[in-house]
Amino acid sequence: MNYKLLEYLSGYLTPKRLELFDKALNMRTKHLTIVLEDIYQKQNASAVLRTCDCFGIQDVHIIEDRNEFQVNREIAMGASKWLSLHKYNNAENNSIEVIQGLKKQGYRIVATTPHTDDQELQDFDIAKGKTALVFGSELPGITETIMQEADEFLKIPMYGFTESFNISVSAAIILHHLTLKMRASNDLGWQLSDDEKAELKMEWIRKTFKRSELLEKRFYEENKE
C-alpha cells in the first residue's frame, strides 16, 4: 500500500468528501458478509446491494450458475460502486468454491432458510465469529449444496399466511438486527484494520475520478528518485 500516493490523491478531494469517506470507513465491516446464490430477480438483488451499503457491509459474494447477476442502477442507487463485489462463474460448482473459500477465511456459513435445525433471528449468537449469510433465489431457494455445507440455519419469525419475505426484505431485516448487535459489542473487533481502510479508501478515490490514472502518473513523475 502506497500511503504517499493515497495522501497525494486525497488532496484532490474536498474536505467534505474526505470526511464522508472516513466516516463510512469507520463503520465498514467484513465481520458479516453476504452470499447471493444464483439470483435472477435483478430488482431484488440490486436492493440487497443498497441494503449492504446502508448497513456498512463491504463484501458481497455473487454466485452465477445459470443466471448472470445484473444491477438495476435505479434501485441500487450507486451502492455497487462502494462495495466489493466478488463474482463466481467459472467453476463447475461455484457454490462449493465460494463456501470453501469463506470457510478458509474463518467464516461460519449461515443459510437463511427454514430448516429443522434453524434458529430464529433474535436468538442468533453473533459473538461466535465472522458470519457469511447465504440468500438464494425466491422460488427455488438455496441449493442442496448450500444446505449440505451450511454450519447453521437462520430464519425470521413470521406470523401471517405468507411463507416468506422476498430476498431484499429478508436481507434488510437480518442485517438491521445483526449489525445493531455487532456494533453494540465491544469484543468482536468488527471494524476494518487500518490497512484495509487505506486500501478501500484508495479504491473509492480511484472510482471518484474519471481518469485517476493520470493523477497517479503525475504523482510518480513528481516523485522520481
Q: Which residues are annotated as a binding site?
A: 112, 156
Order of strands across the sheet that contains 108-112: 84-88, 59-63, 32-37, 131-136, 108-112, 152-155, 119-120
**Amino acid letter at 62?**
I
Cα(166)–Cα(164) distance, rounded to whole angstroms?
Answer: 7
Which residues define the annotated binding site for S-adenosyl-L-methionine?
112, 156
d(CA 61, CA 84): 8
DSSP secondary structure code for residue 70 in this structure? -
Asked if 27 and 52 count as a contact pair (C-beta separation under 8 A), the reply is no
Distances (CA, A) of 125 to 133, 151, 154, 171: 13, 13, 11, 17
The separation between CA 23 and the C-alpha centre of its own chain, rounded to angstroms, equals: 18
Cα 198 from Cα 82, distance rounded (Å): 14
Distance CA 102, CA 62 (A): 13
